[in-house]
Amino acid sequence: MKPELRQYFRLNRLPHIWCPGCGNGIVVGALVRAIHDQGLNQDEVVIVSGIGCSSRASGYLDFNTVHTVHGRALAFATGIKLANPKLTVFVLMGDGDAAAIGGNHLIHAARRNIDLKAIVFNNSIYGMTGGQVSPLTPQGKRATTAPYGVVANAFDLTELAKGAGATFVARGTAYHVVQLTDLLKQGIRHKGFSLVEAVTQCPVAYGRQNKPADPDKMLRWQKENAVNIRNRHKYSQEELEGKFLTGVLCKKDATEFTEGYQHLRDLLDSHE
């Protein structure tokens, strides 16, 4: 670890509980570099997480950290941000957390355009509990609760967030860590709801059921199947089949919720 990044970790809480080859540490590394590069005040950063492997990250990071319940991290974070808009609030979730049990909170946080920095660690599986199916497990892939392959479609979480009104939506991967760090930095600078989906590998719960299970091969899969949105025009529709887009997928301006609410208070004040 680079010396300047050590201050952001609770070193006495390490080593972490993640399995060898897990991509979560890479994503957390990218997050910490982004926070460092943006010069955020450690005391004014809040990390809210849900339940799952990735959500354990909050315990390792030396900020104001809140490890909440499954699926509700965004709802807790909404209260935190509204009550103290000066705080920079990151919301760390897994794919099950964000897209299944917490899906309703995701679409409404996006709709409100509240300035939360949502980061979804997408490993396509429920890792901590042993490999059950998630709404982001691709159709046909196996999980312990889909032993014959997943029947239903998977979500494209970035499309969901865009449709719900998120004003900054991006996707990166654990393999493309420089790009991921940059996307997280852009998310920090953005005023409004930002969602960064970080595609990450789970060799133990996903890889062993779906092959390959080697972390390096899983990272290579990310490399080979990610298409930077800037290069999309180079691919035909058929060539894009089975691949996924990375980069900034949506960025637009709209009234941020806490600012809109403050505007309401000011308006009421001036009518007094």
Partner 1 sequence: MNTHSRQPRLMQGNEAVAEAAIAAGVKFYAGYPISPSSEIAEICAEKLPLVGGTCVQMEDEISGIAACLGASLTGEKAMTATSGPGFSLMQENIGYGVMAEIPCVVVNVQRGGPSIGLPTSPAQGDVMQARWGTHGDHPVITLCPSSVLEAYSLTIKAVNFSEKYRNPVILLLDEVVGHMREKVELPEEGTLEIVRRKLPECDPEDYQPFKADDDGVPPMAPLGSGYRYHITGLYHDETGFPSSRPQVVEDLIRRLHRKIEDAKQEICLTKEYRTDDCEILVVSYGISNRSAYRAVKDAREQGIKAGLLTLHTLWPFPEEALKEAASHASKVIVAELNLGQMKQEVERILAGQVRVEGLNKVNGEIFTPNEILAGLGGTI
**Residues 6 or more apart from 89 whose CB is under 8 A from it?**
45, 46, 48, 77, 80, 81, 115, 116, 117
* CB 147 to partner 1: min, Å: 29
Question: Judged by CB, which is closer to partner 1: 12, or 153?
Answer: 12
* CB 272 to partner 1: min, Å: 8
* CB 57 to partner 1: min, Å: 11
Check if the beta carbon of residue 88 is closer than 8 Å to that of residue 44. Answer: yes
> How far apart, in whole angstroms, are the C-alpha atoms of residue 76 and residue 103?
14
**Residues 6 or more apart from 97 whose CB is under 8 A from it?**
50, 51, 52, 54, 55, 70, 71, 73, 120
* CB 134 to partner 1: min, Å: 20
Question: Judged by CB, which is closer to partner 1: 149, or 163?
Answer: 163
* 3-class state of residue 98 by DSSP: helix
| The two structure tokens encoding residue 221 | 């899969």
Strand pairing report for 168-173 and 116-122: unpaired
Chain residues that interact with partner 1, rule: CB under 8 A: 10, 13, 42-44, 46, 48, 58-59, 62-69, 72, 74-84, 86-87, 104-105, 107-108, 261, 264-265, 268, 272
Question: Judged by CB, which is closer to partner 1: 13, or 217?
Answer: 13
Question: Judged by CB, which is closer to partner 1: 254, or 264?
Answer: 264
Phi then psi for residue 197, to 5 deg, are: -90, 125
Question: Judged by CB, which is closer to partner 1: 105, or 176?
Answer: 105
> How far apart, in whole angstroms, are the C-alpha atoms of residue 126 and residue 145?
10
* CB 91 to partner 1: min, Å: 11
Nearest C-alpha neighbor of 35 from the set 104, 113, 90, 79: 90
* CB 63 to partner 1: min, Å: 6
Question: Judged by CB, which is closer to partner 1: 146, or 164?
Answer: 164
> How far apart, in whole angstroms, are the C-alpha atoms of residue 164 and residue 110?
6
* CB 30 to partner 1: min, Å: 21
> How far apart, in whole angstroms, are the C-alpha atoms of residue 246 and residue 11?
32
Question: Judged by CB, which is closer to partner 1: 76, or 206?
Answer: 76
